[in-house]
Structure formats: C-alpha cells, structure tokens
C-alpha cells in the first residue's frame, strides 16, 4: 500500500508528498484552465503515469527475458475534451535506442507488457490510447 499526502497551496497549486520517500511534486492548473502552467497539471501527471507505467512493466519483462530497453524514451501527447472536461486521448510514441535490434519475440514481449500495465488496465475504456513503437534498428 502506497500513501501520498496532498496540500492545497493556493493559486490553483497543490503539493503532493510521497510519504514513504518524502519526495514532493507540485501541480499547477494549466493555462487553458485559469492556471499559470508552471508545473505539471493533474491531467499531465495522469497521462504521464501511463507512459511511466508502460516503461516500467516493459523493463520488468526485458529483465525477466534477458534483454534490455535502457535508453528508451517516449513522448506523450494529452488531448482534452470538453463537456465534461476530461482526458479524451493519450498518444504515446516509444523511441528505442538507435542500433539496437530486437527479435520478433522481444518486440511482442515489449508491446504486450506496455499494453497490459496496471495504469492501462485502470483507464476508462472511452479514453483512446494511441501507442506507437519506433524501433530504430539501423
């Protein structure tokens, strides 16, 4: 069980503390919703958590099967909808390290791990998840 503690700082900002480690993170409302956009918004964290979870589960799978994904990056685009205001789509582009060649089996393991991570399994089915895996094997 993980616990977090959040305090409202005023001016549409919060501070979240991970109680086990003491690490803290500040959120801010986005520019398009009365904020300053100087920190991650709660919906930015929501979308980013999908990508981080996918990478983590991919790493667990890679470790279990004897290969690695070190240096893999991803880019996330969050698309909002109105009425009600919500995250409508999360686009994720995975970019694997240049020159690393993955076998077909490793690619299947990577992609299966990404699509079945706990965050992906927790998202409402109406949220569109557009995921691309860019293997740069040259």
CATH number of the domain bearing residue 46:
3.30.300.20
Q: How many CA atoms lie within 13 A of 19 on its CB side?
A: 7
Q: What is the pLDDT of residue 93?
A: 98
pTM of this structure: 0.91
Give the chain's length: 138
The span from the CA of 69 to the CA of 100, in Å, is 9
The total number of structural domains in the chain stands at: 2
The closest alpha carbon to 87, from 133, 119, 124, 36, belongs to 124
User: Are residues 49 and 18 part of one domain?
Assistant: no
Q: What is the pLDDT of residue 138?
A: 64
User: Are residues 118 and 52 part of one domain?
Assistant: yes
Round the average pLDDT of the chain to a whole number and report it.
95
User: Are residues 59 and 107 part of one domain?
Assistant: yes
pLDDT tens, 10-25? 999 999 999 999 999 9
User: Are residues 123 and 59 part of one domain?
Assistant: yes
The closest alpha carbon to 59, from 109, 121, 130, 97, belongs to 109
User: Are residues 107 and 46 part of one domain?
Assistant: yes
The span from the CA of 36 to the CA of 30, in Å, is 6
Provide the residue range defining the domain that includes 18: 4-33
User: Are residues 105 and 77 part of one domain?
Assistant: yes
What single string gives the DSSP state of each residue in 65-96? HT---TT-EEEEEEEEETTTTEEEEEEEEEEP
Q: What is the pLDDT of residue 124?
A: 95
């Amino acid at each position: 069980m993980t616990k977090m503690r959040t305090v409202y700082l005023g001016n549409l900002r919060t501070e979240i503390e991970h109680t086990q480690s003491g690490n803290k993170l500040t959120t801010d409302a986005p520019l398009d919703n009365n904020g300053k956009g100087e920190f991650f918004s709660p919906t930015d964290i929501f979308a980013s958590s999908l990508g981080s979870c996918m990478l983590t589960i991919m790493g667990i799978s890679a470790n279990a099967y004897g290969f690695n994904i070190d240096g893999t990056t991803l880019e996330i685009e969050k698309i909002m909808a109105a009425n009600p205001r919500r995250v409508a789509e999360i686009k994720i582009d995975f970019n694997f390290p240049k020159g690393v060649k993955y076998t077909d089996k490793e690619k299947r393991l990577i992609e299966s791990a990404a699509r079945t991570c706990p965050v992906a399994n927790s998202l409402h089915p109406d949220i569109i998840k557009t995921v691309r895996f860019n293997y740069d094997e040259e």
